Amino acid sequence: MIIARVMGALCLIGGAALGGTGASGDEKEAESVLDFTVDDINGSPVELDAYRGDVLLVVNVASKCGLTDDNYKGLQSIYDKYREKGFRVLGFPANNFGAQEPGDNKQIKAFCADKYGVSFDLFSKVSVKGDDVCPLYEYLTHHPNKDVAGEVEWNFQKYLVGRDGNVIAKFSPRVAPTDQKLVGAIEEALRQAAQRSGD
């Protein structure tokens, strides 16, 4: 079982604390993605429970990868298309693969805005694998569902999360944001959310 610092999750890279609130230190077992607190791209703590009721796509992003262009364009495209229905993209910059996210948070934010007009939510740089993996990705990669669990393969791996915070599916980095398999899963998750909210 993964134990998460819900109110003070520290995402560590190279020994430097890049995420977390530094709060009370109380621990509880993480039951969903919504149990975590992370830092946004500006360094402000965000409780992911604030996204309760939304369908989420959690993605580890990178600026200098061969997949960067198609993914940033595609992620922004599907965010624009579905955000009014309660869909959110959560981008987590990570430098774990080929050192393809070398910049700091300020540089990453500027790159995303200037080159791709990114308006979906970006978070502070984290590690998604290894000894310094941040708590959110420790949870995802050790998820009780074997179809979700497993190491992050490369930049732009995608986790689709339902409005209750439970992970619905994992998609390979090679699955483009506009791939019909992923888009269909997003649409189905949004339909289920709408049906439940109307009950």
pLDDT per residue rounded down to tens, the chain (199 residues): 444 433 334 443 333 333 343 333 345 788 999 999 999 999 999 999 999 999 999 999 999 999 999 999 999 999 999 999 999 999 999 999 999 999 999 999 999 999 999 999 999 999 999 999 999 999 999 999 999 999 999 999 999 999 999 999 999 999 999 999 999 999 999 998 555 554 5
- Among 11, 65, 112, 134, the one annotated catalytic: 65
Domain boundaries, the chain: 51-197
11, 83, 103, 133, 143 from 151: Cα distances, Å: 17, 29, 23, 11, 10
pTM for this model (two decimals) = 0.86
Q: Active site includes 65?
A: yes
Q: Which two tokens stand for residue 3?
A: 């134990």
Report the distance separating Cα 56 and Cα 154, nearest Å: 19
Report the chain's terminal Cα–Cα distance, integer Å: 33
Residue corresponding to tokens 């941040």: 134
| Amino acid code (one letter) for 81 | K
CATH number for domain 51-197, candidates 1.10.10.10, 3.40.30.10, 3.40.640.10, 1.10.1760.20:
3.40.30.10
Element (H, E) at 108: helix 105-116
**DSSP conformation class of 171:** E
